[in-house]
A and B are shown apart, each in its own frame.
Chain A
Amino acid sequence: MTAVRACLPWSIAALGGAALVAAPWLMGEGALRFLSEAMLMLAMAEMWNLLAGYAGLVSMGQQVFVGLGAYGLFFASISLNVAPFWVLPLAPLLCAGVAAIVALFMFRLREAYFAIGTWVFSEIVSLLVSKTDRLGGERGVGLPTARLIDPRWLEPMTFWISAAIALAAVIGTYALLRSRVGLGLMTVRDNDMAAASIGVDVWRNRFIAFVIAAAGCGLAGAVSFTATLYVAPGFAFDPNWVVAMMIIVIIGGIGTLEGPIVGVIIYFTLREALTVVFGLSAGWYLIGLGSVAIVAILFEPDGLWPLIRGPLGGDWLSVRREPPAAARIAAAAPAGEMRSSPSGLGATPSDR
């Protein structure tokens, strides 16, 4: 019996993998494109969650990396005259490099100021690209090298790559958080002064998270725009990218790996329900989702995942650390959340 239980996650994974591979033959193009979009959005949401939920960095300018990844891919592909997917690795590399430089000055800003500072940076990049004719200016550029891909394979390849990116995002974040860097990140998130005092390099841990998140968003952005065969500053650097990331993470469950998965399901279900089923225009799904996010922040700031994880049989991808069993029994205290709130000293006089 236990042997079967132990095999269960692996068999599920294998089945899932097979389903992903077979999907292009099982589904129509529309469904495939929808799923690709959802997967890429999942990857981006995991990245935003890595930043906000684990590194304590709320970035409202994350769309800059989505756009830079796309532009990087387009121009690499065009100037080297190769099919886009060959130069895909360049997108995350470019974004990682830019992120590394940006971090050097952005990290001086704290909290809200960092959030908006990244947004200003994104606007600056967007404006610069709009003014540069060689980059297509305001009108943007198409992707002529897409001709180099067999059109029958474009959608399936996009799908497989999107699925791979989503998987990499989830598993990669999982691996990162279980590593030493991850432990460092979580201590920083919970209390950066305490973390620093025990020798955790706050800056370095945040830097790593920021660069990885940038690369992840860049990769997802590159694939996303390859699928549309067109990129323009208005779309590439659209703040709605980060709006979507935020809504997904907030509703799904910030600071957990499963949260963005739940969030993506809810996001796309609601979107399709409101636009396809009820025939409302696109703005309404944002109004709806925005309202749900507001309600979530007010009443369930930890998102949906903590509420449904019980009935769903516990954590799928827990990165919680617990002391060894003997110590746990001795403590005999209810297992606390990693996301600790500061000591509830009631109404402490100074709330700075």
Chain B
Amino acid sequence: MIWVETIVNGILYGGLYGLLGVGLALIVGVMRVVNLSHGEFIVLSAFMGVSLVGVFPWLHPLALILPVAAIAFGLGMALQAVLINRVVTRPDPFAAILLTFGVAVVMRNLMVEVYGADLRHLQAGRLAQASTGIGGLQVGVLPLLILGLSVALFTALQLLLTRTRFGRIVRATADNRDVVRLMGVNPGRVYNLVMGLSLALASVAGMLLAIRASFSPYSGVERLLVAFEVVVLGGLGTFWGAMLGGITLGVAELVGLRLDPNAGPLYAHLLFLVGVLLRPNGLFRVRT
């Protein structure tokens, strides 16, 4: 019974992992850039949540997700416009990685200076403890909410990309950024919006994760690795694959923790390594 519960909880948190990764998957798919500061923005969002909770203590952290996401969107657009757009057209595939890695180092240490190195937590109050019985199992209400939110966001993203004019423009720009200019599209502006979207999604995941687990300025590394593993396991640039990848990692981590409480993310990492060796194109080839 405990195992079933563990697996179910793994699935529920896996949705969160998927959300951590989908933002990264988006920009990898559109710009072929791996944003190594993705993890730091996830953590920054959590810190923003903490700051906002300080300013508005009567608001539940979940209500702060929207404003934090809006700020993250703006930050993403700024990051892209000021920094990443300058290197995205370069033939050197490493320029963007090194650049975003530099950004990550600066952000991480700035957060330490501003917020201190201690572990923090976003209190969700009674919601965090609440659980309900489903099919004879005790399932946390918060994880259920999180899964629901993740699925909703995934679906919204999918619809945005496949059914709207903006989505069409994004997909076309991802295919060929020069030809799209012939149609009057400025690829740099498209990238700005996509990066904004990517970090907004990351910020939602960051806030939710901060409710579940404690974090410090150094947590960005772990978040990045999870996001990256989700992207690669899911098959690059496919979103439902990322969701499934997240779920796989979530289950692996929780099962691993049950077997071996000191393991941390070890089993998730091992699963990733094995997965990527056996199927370098991703475990889930899901058509977008």
Direct A/B contact, Cβ within 8 angstroms? yes
Q: Which residue numbers of A lie inside 8 Å of B, CB to CB?
A: 52, 58, 60, 105, 108-109, 111-113, 115-117, 119-121, 123-124, 127-128, 130-131, 239, 243, 246-247, 250, 281, 283-284, 286-287, 289-291, 293-294, 297-298, 301, 341-342, 347-352
In angstroms, Cα B98 to Cα A349, docked, is 25
In angstroms, Cα B269 to Cα A1, docked, is 64
Is B160 at the interface (CB under 8 A from chain A)?
no
A–B complex contacts, Cβ < 8 Å, 10 sampled: A108-B280, A111-B93, A112-B97, A113-B276, A120-B225, A130-B262, A131-B262, A287-B113, A289-B105, A293-B105
In angstroms, Cα B232 to Cα A250, docked, is 27
A58:B98 contact, CB within 8 angstroms: yes
Among A250, A286, A289, max chain B CB count under 10 A is at A286
Write the nearest CB–CB distance from A275 to chain B, whole angstroms.
13
In angstroms, Cα B276 to Cα A286, docked, is 33
In angstroms, Cα B229 to Cα A146, docked, is 41
A116:B113 contact, CB within 8 angstroms: no
Q: Which of B87, B105, B112 contacts A297 (CB 8 A)?
A: B87
Is B67 at the interface (CB under 8 A from chain A)?
no
From 22 to 36 in chain B, residues with beta carbon under 8 angstroms from any chain A beta carbon are: 32, 34
Question: CB-defined interface of B267-286 with A at 8 Å, one 1/0 digit per residue?
Answer: 00110110011001000000
In angstroms, Cα B99 to Cα A250, docked, is 10
From 187 to 238 in chain B, residues with beta carbon under 8 angstroms from any chain A beta carbon are: 221, 225, 228-229, 232
Is B92 at the interface (CB under 8 A from chain A)?
yes
Q: With A127-B263, A127-B264, A297-B95 known to touch, is A290 a contact of B34 (CB < 8 Å)?
A: no
Q: With A108-B277, A115-B97 known to touch, is A123 a contact of B265 (CB < 8 Å)?
A: yes
In angstroms, Cα B173 to Cα A351, docked, is 11
Write the nearest CB–CB distance from A267 to chain B, whole angstroms.
13
A294:B269 contact, CB within 8 angstroms: no
What residues of B have a CB within 8 angstroms of the CB of A109 in the complex? Answer: 276, 280
B273:A117 contact, CB within 8 angstroms: yes
Q: With A111-B94, A116-B228, A342-B91 known to touch, is A297 a contact of B266 (CB < 8 Å)?
A: no
A341:B103 contact, CB within 8 angstroms: no
In angstroms, Cα B105 to Cα A52, docked, is 19
B263:A131 contact, CB within 8 angstroms: yes
B178:A112 contact, CB within 8 angstroms: no
What residues of B have a CB within 8 angstroms of the CB of A112 in the complex? Answer: 34, 93, 97
Write the nearest CB–CB distance from A339 to chain B, whole angstroms.
9
B273:A121 contact, CB within 8 angstroms: yes
A287:B273 contact, CB within 8 angstroms: no
In angstroms, Cα B84 to Cα A64, docked, is 29
A58:B94 contact, CB within 8 angstroms: yes
Q: Which of B32, B83, B86, B273 contacts A120 (CB 8 A)?
A: B273
Write the nearest CB–CB distance from B151 to chain A, whole angstroms.
27
What residues of A have a CB within 8 angstroms of the CB of B99 in the complex? Answer: 294, 297-298
